[in-house]
Chain A
C-alpha cells in the first residue's frame, strides 16, 4: 500500500518552547491513524503543521493529488453570524467546483436536516454544527479526512452518530483518516495505527495492540491509565 503521508524529523516550536521534536511516521493510503496524548502534548500543533498552518522544521510529504477534508475542534462563532449552513457549504462548493447535487449529497451523508441548511450556523447545536463541518469536509471528494477532537462538547448519541458516519464513509470512499481523540475505546474501534505524543517529547507509533498497553499509556500520559484491551476490540 503506498504511503499517503510521510513525516520526517518534524519539529514545531512556539518561541523558545519546543512542542514537537524529531517526529517521524507514515500513513498508508486508506489507513486510519489516531493521535493520542494528554493536553498540551502537541496534538493540535501536529495537525496545524500537517496542513501548513504552522511553521515547522523537518518534512511533511503528502502524496500527489491529496485533497483534504478537515473537521476542527469546536469553533468559537458568534451566535448572530448571518451565515446559513447552505451559505457555508456553497462557499466551498464554489471553490472546489462542486455542483448543487454534491452539496445535497454531502448533507444527506451526514444526516443533516434540510432546515439546518437555512439556519445561521452560530445558532446550530454542537452536534449539528460538527455534522455541518463534516459535510463541508466531504465536498470536493477529499481523499484525506483530518479530525481534531471533532466531538468535543457533543453528547454521546451525537458523538456515536458522527463516528458511525465517518466509518461508513471510509468504507465506501476509501478515505485516509487521521484523528485526534481522547476516547481510547474509539481509537481501538477505528484506528489501524496509533501515534502517541507525551508531554516530555515522548512519542510512539504502531498498531493499537502494540501501543495501547498500560506501560506505554502511563509513559504517554504521565499517570497510570485505567484501561483494558478487550479481546473483541481492534482491527
Chain B
C-alpha cells in the first residue's frame, strides 16, 4: 500500500510523487482552458457534482472514489446535454446541476463523510487508485495537447471554429470529460472543494502574467506543481492538513503575482 500524504512519503516513494505531480500537471493544463472559457466559478461548482456519487458509493459499500468518478462523468455528460438542448450557458447549467448534486449528496452522505469528500482524506491507496492516478493525468494532458488548437479557436468564437470543420459540440464534451477526470484525480488527496481551487487558482495566476498561450501553460503548471510540492512539504512540518496548505500556497502565488500583472 502506498501513502500519498506528506513530503516524507513523497520523498521516499517515487510513485506517490508521480501521482501528486500528475494531478497537479493535469490541473494546471485543464485550468488554463477553464479560465479562458470563463468557467472560473462553473469549474469550482462542477467539482461538487462528485458528492452524490460518493454518498451512493458509501451506501452501497463501494469505494467512494469509484462513485465520485462515475458521478463526475455522468455530470459532465448531463451538463453538456442540457447546455446543448437548452442553449443556456455552461455557467448556469453547471450551477443548477451543482446545487442539485450538493442536495442529493448531503442526503446520502453523513457529515463526516461529506467533510472528507469536500476536503480530502489522507490514507492508503489501493492499486486501482494508483493506476487511475497515473493513467488519468496522462490521458487528460494528451487529450488537451492534441485538442489545444481546436479549443483555442472555439473559445474565441464557436462559429469561427465551425468554419474550420471543428465539431464544437464534441469538443465541448471532450473538455468537460477531461475536466471531470481531473477533479476526480483530487478526490482523495484534496477533496472536491480544494481540487476545484487547484484547477482555477494557478491558471488565474498565469492568465494575468502571460502574454501568450505557451507562457500561460508554463506558469499555470509551474504554480500548480510548485504549490502541491510546497504544500505537502509544509504539511510535514506543520500540524495542518495537506490539502488546505496546497491551496493556501497557490492562493499566495496568485496574490504575490498581482504585483507583476501585465498591462491588458
A interface residue numbers (CB < 8 A to B): 48, 51-53, 68-70, 72, 75, 77-84, 86-88, 90-92, 94-96, 118-123, 133, 136, 140, 146
Contacts and interface: CB of A to CB of B under 8 A. Distances in A.
A51 B162 contact: yes
Given A53-B158, A118-B212, A95 B152 contact: no
Interface in B124-150: 148-150
Chain B at the A interface: mostly helix, strand, loop or mixed?
helix
B156 A82 contact: no
A57 to B, nearest CB: 18
Given A72-B160, A87-B214, A123-B264, 11 more contacts: A68-B163, A70-B160, A80-B208, A82-B36, A82-B207, A83-B152, A84-B212, A84-B213, A91-B148, A91-B153, A92-B153
19 contacts: A51-B159, A53-B159, A70-B163, A72-B159, A75-B157, A80-B262, A82-B206, A82-B211, A82-B212, A82-B216, A83-B156, A84-B213, A87-B152, A87-B212, A90-B149, A91-B153, A95-B166, A121-B156, A136-B160
A94 B166 CA distance: 13
B152 A122 contact: no
Interface residues of B, number: 29
Contacts of A119: 211
B59 interface: no
Contacts of B162: 51-53
Nearest to B148: A91
A79 B213 CA distance: 14
Contacts of B150: 91, 95
B36 A81 contact: yes
B207 A80 contact: yes
A53 B212 CA distance: 29
B254 to A, nearest CB: 14
Nearest to B215: A82
Contacts of B264: 79-80, 120, 122-123
B164 A96 contact: yes
B210 interface: yes
Interface in B205-240: 206-208, 210-216
Contacts of B164: 68, 92, 95-96, 140
B44 to A, nearest CB: 18
A144 to B, nearest CB: 9
Contact of A146 (B163, B166, B215, B262): B163
A118 B211 contact: yes
Contacts of B211: 82, 84, 118-120
Given A94-B149, A95-B149, A146-B163, A75 B215 contact: no
B41 to A, nearest CB: 15
For A53, A78, A82, the residue with the greatest tally of chain B CB atoms inside 10 Å of its CB is: A82
B3 interface: no
B38 interface: yes
A154 to B, nearest CB: 17
A72 to B, nearest CB: 6
For A69, A72, A83, A119, the residue with the greatest tally of chain B CB atoms inside 10 Å of its CB is: A83
Nearest to A48: B159
A91 B158 CA distance: 14
Contact of A87 (B158, B159, B208, B213): B213
Nearest to B154: A91
Given A94-B149, A121-B156, A83 B36 contact: yes
